[in-house]
Structure 1
Amino acid sequence: MSNLIVHGGTPLAGRIIPSANKNAVLPILCATLLSAEPIRLHGVPEITDVKKILEVFRNLGSRVEVDFKTGLLDVHHRDTHFDASKDRLPEEMRSSIMLVPGLMARFGAARIEDDVKGCTLGMREIDPHVEVFERFGAQVERQPDGLLLHVQAAKLHANDHWTDYASVTTTENFVLCAALADGTSTLMNAASEPHVQEFCLFLQMLGAQIEGLGTSKLKISGVDRLKGGEFTFAEDFHEIVTFLALGAITGGDVQVKNSTPEQFPLIDRTFAKFGVRIEHKDGWSRAITDGPLKVKEPFTRNILQKVEAAPWPYLPVDLLPIFVALGVKAEGSVMFWNKVYDGAMGWTSELSKFGAHAFLSDPHRMVTFGGKPLAPAEVESPYIIRVAIALLMVAASIKGRSVIRNATPIRRAHPHFVENICTLGARIEWVEGD
């Protein structure tokens, strides 16, 4: 277990450059399996999930050369091999399920381990993914320790599909299968998040024929092979929002490099609900506050201010905990609504240890009654990346020493996150132990 010691109360200030988005990096790494040509990636973050994927590649015979100091990765799957009877995929990260299409396309077989999982965001079923694989011609066999998938003649067959909901990973698995399938495939109710668009741009660079980027309908015409190439990751909008929020909650002045401000209008309006104005200028974004945070009152007097999160182009659910932290600090009441995951809001008891007033209405909704006196505390983070960060944010805004226990999930998504915050003036350190 890794704990964070936070000496809060210092306004954070300065400029910072975010890392790449884990949710773009991991599917793109999995997509490299579709090509037998050399691929070079720039801006690869040094996070645990990336290291696990690269270790899988090495174990399968791929050539992997990475320098995390520069973020440069060279990967070549020319000599890659796979034996479904003995080769295993990582169980401890959800993204390993995106290795399946590449393995099926290259070797005609793949596995899904029984315990494949990621953050503890409630029930996260694998059935939508299995359904996609079956539609492309995979035969699925249940075994004692997982699922075995076979494709006759190692060739996937194009199809049209309409998903139950706009799932990011299901969309990416469909595109991965369709890229080398025989014919044209169409996906309705596709996810359109920025990282999904970045993932599709990467595949287009390799030669995939994809239409409809950024919309809920994708059309993919399969090709015989994908080439190699070179690709540079964009900044992670999750990190951009997090660093801006850290500046706001501590009463500081943080500027964050942001090359995609066109993705931010709804995020900017959400910040404004807490009295924070976001300025985008010359490739940088800045959070500006005028005194203590205060919730903007709705014109409809009998309702609470609210923040609703759902699949893009809604506010992303991954960002909801970041705004919960602002809600705890800001004077006024806010209802937060997670429209995707059951049980992902059940950490109000940890907020209460700081003295925060937060009420869990049901598995999807939480109400914060902000502006109350807060005090340093020792809290326990659930295994959810941005909940750990939200607890860190609250601690950073309070003068005194707090402890965030089990903050390990942060390392799954954000390289050198604590070190980066410390360059802004924070006093935070990792402490290993139980």
Structure 2
Amino acid sequence: MGTFKIEGGIQLKGEITPQGAKNEALQILCAVLLTPEKVTITNIPDIIDVNKLIKLLGNLGVKIEKLAHGAYTFQADEVNLAYLESEGFKEEGKSLRGSIMIVGPLLARFGKGYIPKPGGDKIGRRRLDTHFEGFINLGAKFRYNREDYFYGVEADRLKGTYMLLDEASVTGTANIIMAAVLAEGKTTIYNAACEPYLQQLCKMLNSMGAKITGVGSNLIEIEGVEKLGGCEHRILPDMIEIGSWIGLAAMTRSEITIKNVSWDNLGVIPNTFRKLGITLERRGDDIYIPAHEDGYEIQNYIDGSILTIADAPWPGFTPDLLSIVLVVATQARGSVLIHQKMFESRLFFVDRLIDMGAKIILCDPHRATVIGHDFKSQLKGIMMSSPDIRAGISLLIAALSAKGTSTIQNIDQIDRGYERIDERLRALGAKITRED
């Protein structure tokens, strides 16, 4: 496992361009299985989770050609379905949470889809019921091998239906949509997730010949078609990385411009950081963050009560940025309650921040109160380990703002979601080195 060594307390400066969106890429890549024709995708992030999925597609028989950095063509005209029942697939599939989204396309096009229980971040329970209940509603038969933790669905032909999802699961909605586009008749999905990345998936599928309406709402209607064709698709910039750079700029009191952020797809993210007192300026499609020499002050509610920042399904605040917000609050003026509703283990990384000198009260697995230092007391560098992608980047931001040297172990977790993070930080003036 690699480590980062960071010398903190250094102001950064410059421009940075966000990578392609990880969460969109995982959906879009699975969709190439829906057609035998060539699909071209650009702005694919070069990160561990995405590269694992590309490798898995290659092992399934998808023909893959790299055109340039972040640009590939995929052609699934000779899919090897036998690979789905191999030991290699059982090992490969369970190492990546996003692998679950190959099931919908495989079921729709070939009548069967299998997946081992997928892995990913250890941030609490992430159940798969929504995915498989959706497939069952479309007419698939479900089976589960408890000994191998292996899921399977099969159907001669899926049939459209009405369904009300038990939760607005992003990956669940994506999986069901990809299954329904080739089903017979009309499918209506209520309480569907409506994140920009899911909207991107629907736009891509429509460009391939699908008939999806209600894109961007929680009521999606799909008229099934006989087949889909090829297309070209460009992935949006990663809103989670954009939020990470905003947090980095505030914590290190740095002047940073984030380029080409696709403002219209950021939702409440800019205003949530503004509630922490962070100044953001829109310049075209860029975000300009000035050096916060005088710090930043958390806004209370209009009645004077303490601000609460909580996650919620889109268009609410994404849970993937709550860890960033929590870290940023440690140096603010004022206090804030962070409420992580979706995952019960995601706040446990705060013990590392407390070791660094942060004032945080972990109320329970879902809530933490942060009392800001107002930069009157710097965090101090320590040795720590990254428990998951988002906690990892949050600890990295804390280390870059801290006094002294920090060491972060298990940085594979950070590399799963952030492309060449150390190189890009050095370009801004950070003192960070990667060691094996």
TM-score between the two structures when normalised by the length of structure 1: 0.94
Q: CA deviation at 1:24?
A: 0.1
Paired residue for 1:200, among 199, 202, 205? 202
State whether structure 2 residue 379 is matched by structure 1 residue 397: no
Q: Which residue number in structure 2 is paired with residue 32 of structure 1?
A: 32
My pick for the range that moved more, 326-335 or 103-112, is 103-112
- Inter-CA distance 286–34: structure 2 relative to 1 (3 Å threshold): same
Q: Which residue number in structure 2 is paired with residue 113 of structure 1?
A: 116
- Inter-CA distance 193–379: structure 2 relative to 1 (3 Å threshold): farther
Q: Which residue number in structure 1 is paired with residue 59 of structure 2?
A: 59
Cα distance in structure 2, aligned partners of 1:346 and 1:150:
35
Contact (CA 8 Å) 1:187, 1:218: kept in 2 or not?
A: yes
Cα shift readout 1:106-150 (whole Å, capped 9, x = no counterpart): 322221213x12111201111221211211222122223133534
- Report the AA paired with residue 254 of structure 2: G
Paired residue for 1:219, among 208, 218, 221? 221
Q: CA deviation at 1:382?
A: 4.6
Q: What SS does structure 1 have at the residue aligned with 2:93?
A: coil
Paired residue for 1:420, among 409, 418, 424? 424
Cα distance in structure 2, aligned partners of 1:28 and 1:264:
19
Cα distance in structure 2, aligned partners of 1:304 and 1:241:
22
Q: What stretches of structure 1 move > 6 A for 4+ residues in a row?
A: none
5+ residue gaps, structure 2: none
Q: Which residue number in structure 1 is paired with residue 170 of structure 2?
A: 168
- Inter-CA distance 54–266: structure 2 relative to 1 (3 Å threshold): closer
Q: Which residue number in structure 2 is paired with residue 323 of structure 1?
A: 325
Paired residue for 2:413, among 403, 409, 418? 409
Cα shift readout 1:402-425 (whole Å, capped 9, x = no counterpart): 112222211111211221111111
Q: What SS does structure 1 have at the residue aligned with 2:180?
A: helix
My pick for the range that moved more, 279-288 or 292-301, is 292-301
Contact (CA 8 Å) 2:35, 2:76: kept in 1 or not?
A: yes
1:333-344 matches, cutoff 5 A: 333-344=335-346
State whether structure 2 residue 316 is matched by structure 1 residue 299: no
My pick for the range that moved more, 283-292 or 142-151, is 142-151
Q: What SS does structure 2 have at the residue aligned with 1:276?
A: coil
Q: What SS does structure 1 have at the residue aligned with 2:72?
A: strand
Cα distance in structure 2, aligned partners of 1:183 and 1:315:
35
Q: CA deviation at 1:275?
A: 1.7
- Report the AA paired with residue 388 of structure 1: G
Q: Which residue number in structure 1 is paired with residue 81 of structure 2?
A: 82
Q: What SS does structure 2 have at the residue aligned with 1:280?
A: strand
Q: Which residue number in structure 1 is paired with residue 11 of structure 2?
A: 11
Contact (CA 8 Å) 2:168, 2:192: kept in 1 or not?
A: yes
- Inter-CA distance 334–107: structure 2 relative to 1 (3 Å threshold): same
Paired residue for 2:154, among 151, 156, 166? 151
Q: Which residue number in structure 1 is paired with residue 49 of structure 2?
A: 49
Paired residue for 1:100, among 90, 98, 103? 103
Q: Which residue number in structure 1 is paired with residue 392 of structure 2?
A: 388
Cα shift readout 1:289-340 (whole Å, capped 9, x = no counterpart): 3512322243323x31221111111111101111111111112211011121
- Inter-CA distance 184–265: structure 2 relative to 1 (3 Å threshold): closer
State whether structure 2 residue 378 is matched by structure 1 residue 374: yes
Q: CA deviation at 1:223?
A: 0.8
Q: What SS does structure 2 have at the residue aligned with 1:56?
A: helix
Paired residues in the alignment total 428
My pick for the range that moved more, 331-340 or 268-277, is 268-277
Cα distance in structure 2, aligned partners of 1:337 and 1:379:
27
Cα shift readout 1:155-189 (whole Å, capped 9, x = no counterpart): 22111111112111111011011111111101111
- Inter-CA distance 263–142: structure 2 relative to 1 (3 Å threshold): closer
Q: CA deviation at 1:259?
A: 4.5
Contact (CA 8 Å) 1:307, 1:334: kept in 2 or not?
A: yes
Cα distance in structure 2, aligned partners of 1:343 and 1:58:
34
Q: What SS does structure 2 have at the residue aligned with 1:131?
A: helix
Cα distance in structure 2, aligned partners of 1:265 and 1:34:
30
Cα shift readout 1:350-371 (whole Å, capped 9, x = no counterpart): 1111111111111211111111
- What fraction of aligned residue pairs are identical, expressed as a percent? 32
